[in-house]
Structure formats: C-alpha cells, structure tokens
Amino acid sequence: MLHFPEPPKNYSSVFLDETDKPLPEKIDPRTRYAFFSTIAKGGKSLIKSCKDLHLSRFVCYKSLKPEFADDEIEQKRLIREARVSAMLQHPNTIPTYELGRDARGYPYFTMKLVHGYTLREILDYRDRYDLTQLVELVVQVGHALQYAHIHGVAHRDIKPENMLAGPYGEVLLLDWGLAKVWHPDGRGASEGDSGPSKGTHIEDITLTGHGKAQGTIHYMSPEQLNLDPGIDHRTDIFSLGAVLYEILCGNKPAAGEKMHEVVESVINDQPPEAAEVSSQIVPRLLSDVAMKCLSKNPEDRFQSMEEMVILLQQNWQTELSRFARRD
C-alpha cells in the first residue's frame, strides 16, 4: 500500500441532524449545490468543491469557464468527459455522481471529492519518496489505463498533474477531457483533428481544440503531436513512459525551452537513457521499460498496457532485491 503524507482533514463529520433531515417534496437540481469554493482551474474548465444539500456531503463540481461556456464543442467535450468517467468504473478512477445543467443551462458534472497530492506535487519533493512507492503509483495508473483501453478509450493526457495519490493509499487517474473514443465500426469520434470534413457528423468533430494538438507537449507521443488520425491506445503507453522517465532521472525526456523545440525533440530525438542523466543509480529494468515506452514508432513500444504492467509487477521486486544486494 502506498503511504504518502495525509493532507489536512477537512471531511465533514456525520451528525444526526444531517442524516435525518427531510427531503424536499419537489427536488430542484438547480438549488442542490451550495458553498462553492474553487480548488483548481484548467485551461477551459473550473473545478470547485461544494456541498450536495440533498445528501449532505461535499463533492467535486466541474464546469466550463465563463469565456467557454457557450462553446458547443467545449460543452460536448465536458459532457463526454463526464460520461467516460462514469462508464469507466475502476478503483483507479474517480466516480462520477451526476451530469446536469445549471440554472443558465450550462452543463456540469459532479464527482467524488478526493483530497491528496498529485504526482507533480510529489516530484517537487522527490528525495522524500522511495522509488518503490513511485513505481507502484505508475503501476496503479497502468491498471486504470489497461481497463480504459480494453473498453475502447485512450486517455491522451497522461502527465504527473493528472495522477493523484489519496490519503488512504489510493491512486487515481484524473481528467478524461481529452479522451478518444471510437464508434462500433472502428471510427474514432475524435478523428479529423484538422477540422470537420464533408459528411462529418457532430460526434466526429474534434473535441480537442479546433485543429490543435491538445495535452501537455512534454508527455505527448509523436503521433499525437502530428495529429495522426490513426492514433490509438499506444499514445498513452508513450506518455506513461515519459512520466516513468521523469521519476527515474528528474528530467523530462524531451529537450528544449521553447514549445517548438520540445515538439521537435519529441518527434525526432531519442532521449538519453535515464541512467546516463540521473544523479542516482537507476535500476536497469525500469530504464529499459521507460525507453521501450518512448520508442518513436508505436510498433516498437509495448503493444498493450497490460504487457507493461505485468513486466513491472512480476520483475520489479526481483530487480529490487538484486539492486538492494548491490548496495
């Protein structure tokens, strides 16, 4: 079990006057939530904590920023995210509670409110954490992705900011807003990233930003940056490898200070092995796994997240024992 410092306790206590108060005869969803407090801001969305007055609990409430509230594509993206999150019922994903519209008709959805630390916050204090803990975090995210891929969903925004370690040892993969899903006939509902084409239905129009590659470029695969319409689940394998690489050596695999430099590096440059740039000894198994994930050609990567996870789970403890004896 993972043991990260527990964040401040601000969960509500349970009292009888909350559990036994009467439920209104007519329930108006527009007045269900109160005591809003902003806890995070995304590029186009707001994440708030608020109290569900019907169930007397605090939840996470996600909606669009005011400047994007009328954007039909962004509305559809938010609705898709809610439904994808709700349909992917897995221990390493956050449960979705409700999808609805507010008093102005704008969509929102609510989720379980989890207090914890993102992997980005953890990596800011990397020396405090054992490598085994961080590898286990990667494995748990891998389980979530394996489950999503089996069910026809690619996340497409794997990065440390979207991995959360909770106070009870749980690891959660966040933010499915850039997820790619497919039609039953195999067509991707996010295909056509350069914009809608003749005969394109509304569900086929890109939901990733009107012809722009979305995500965080340091962790995006070459095919994602190239807007490849044939992108599949292996883009997530590349991104998780980039996260593992950063855990091992403290550096992102792509070089460059400016955006175009990073893009060129992701597409064209093979990063040095983690052991070559790390100030600490890096176990060979982990270095090899990261480098295989970071292959430019998807055919050269692990072909499934399950393959990567099994290798880490079965071989990491053996490698760890060998590593410890060497020390």
Instruction: Cite the DSSP H helix spans in 163-304.
Output: 222-225, 234-249, 259-268, 274-277, 284-293
Say what the pLDDT of residue 171 is. 96
b/e sequence 1-35, b meaning 16+ C-beta within 10 Å:
ebebeeeeeeeeeeeeeeeeeeeeeeeeeeebbee
- For 141-167, what is the mean pLDDT? 95
DSSP assignment letter at 45: E
Q: Which residue has the tokens 């990667």?
A: 138
What does the alpha-carbon distance between residue 86 and residue 111 come to, in Å, rounded to a whole number? 9
Q: What is the pLDDT of residue 23?
A: 73
Look at residue 214 and tell me whether its pLDDT is greater than 60.
Answer: no
- Provide the residue ranges of all domains of the chain, joining segments of one domain with +: 20-112, 117-326
Q: Return the SS3 of 59.
A: strand
Domain 117-326: which topology?
A: Transferase(Phosphotransferase); domain 1 (1.10.510)
CB 300, CB 231: distance < 8 Å: no
Domain 20-112: CATH superfamily, name plus number? Phosphorylase Kinase; domain 1 (3.30.200.20)
pTM of the predicted model, to two decimals? 0.84
- Say which range, 107-111, 205-209, 304-308, has the weakest mean pLDDT: 205-209
Is the model more confident about 138 or about 40? 138
pLDDT score recorded for residue 215: 52
117-326: same fold as 20-112? Answer: no
Q: What is the pLDDT of residue 152?
A: 92
Phi-psi region of 228 (alpha: psi -120 to 50; beta: other; left: phi over 0): beta
- Cα dist from 11 to 58, 115, 167, whole Å: 8, 9, 12
Residues 257-278: tens digit of each pLDDT: 888 899 999 999 999 998 888 8
Contact 206, 72 (CB under 8 A): no
- CA–CA separation, 103 and 327 (whole Å): 62
Average pLDDT over residues 218-232: 93
Question: Could you tell me the pLDDT band of residue 210, with boundaries at 50, 70 and 90?
Answer: very low
Rounded Cα distance between 168 and 117, Å, is 12
